[in-house]
Chain A
Amino acid sequence: MRQRKIRPVYLNLFNIRFPLAAIASILHRIAGVLLIISLPFLIYLFDLSLHDADAFDKALAITRHPLICLYLYLLLWAISHHFVAGIRYFLVDLELISGKQASAVSATTVVVSGLLIPVIVFLGTVL
């Protein structure tokens, strides 16, 4: 109990080291929820695209609207992150990733590659 009194009373945010595995994990959840919430819109697009040729073009036109396009890139990030983070969980389950070092390195890889995939797709469509 006495120990508690000498702890620093200020809160230095830079001193709080949030483990990268925790960031990858919460992003995995956020991405999952985002994808679930987007299901009705995605099913709507899927439905429209299979009606006939005109509806297919209409669905494509919708995806080209700047705001929708931005939103779809967000969803692309979500599914990329969810996918890579999921593979990491498989490796953790199989005990191929264990220990602090491997956890941090793999979590960084997950966060970075999740962000990289939409960027690569964007560059691929622009160039």
Chain B
Amino acid sequence: MSRRVQGLRLWMWQRVSALYLALFLLYIVISILMLEQFDYPQWHAWISGPVNSIIIYIGFLMLFAHAWVGIRDVIMDYIHSIVLRSLTLMLAGLGFMVCLLWLSRVLIKAILT
């Protein structure tokens, strides 16, 4: 696949994930405001509900897709040295993977307990 098409695909991913994240953000804010009380049982039950946990997990995946395309654009715009650019891109990618694994663990643990 040519570079141009790859760029277009990334551009589309950015829009799709942005749309999901925008709706997701509104959903989180409204849901949390609607909790009767912001305490551990309510919070835990809200996060680990069958529908919510799926919405939240997809939200995390979208967040990292969005963050990856975004930081990739920023890094490629401002870091011109090829070595430094590859290094920061690699660091960002690695950081995101660690964060996503961490979040997955937190969410799975919350569902199971």
Contacts and interface: CB of A to CB of B under 8 A. Distances in A.
A95 interface: no
Given A32-B70, A36-B70, A93-B15, A50 B47 contact: yes
**What is the size category of the interface that chain B forms with chain A?**
20 to 34
Main secondary structure of the interface of A (DSSP, over half): helix
Interface in B24-77: 25, 39-41, 43-44, 47, 67, 70-71, 74
Contact of B109 (A36, A50, A87, A90): A50
Main secondary structure of the interface of B (DSSP, over half): helix
Contacts, number: 53
Interface of B: 15, 18-19, 22, 25, 39-41, 43-44, 47, 67, 70-71, 74, 92, 95, 99, 102-103, 106, 109-110
A33 B74 contact: yes
A52 B47 CA distance: 13
A46 B103 CA distance: 9
Interface string A75-101: 000010001001101100100000000
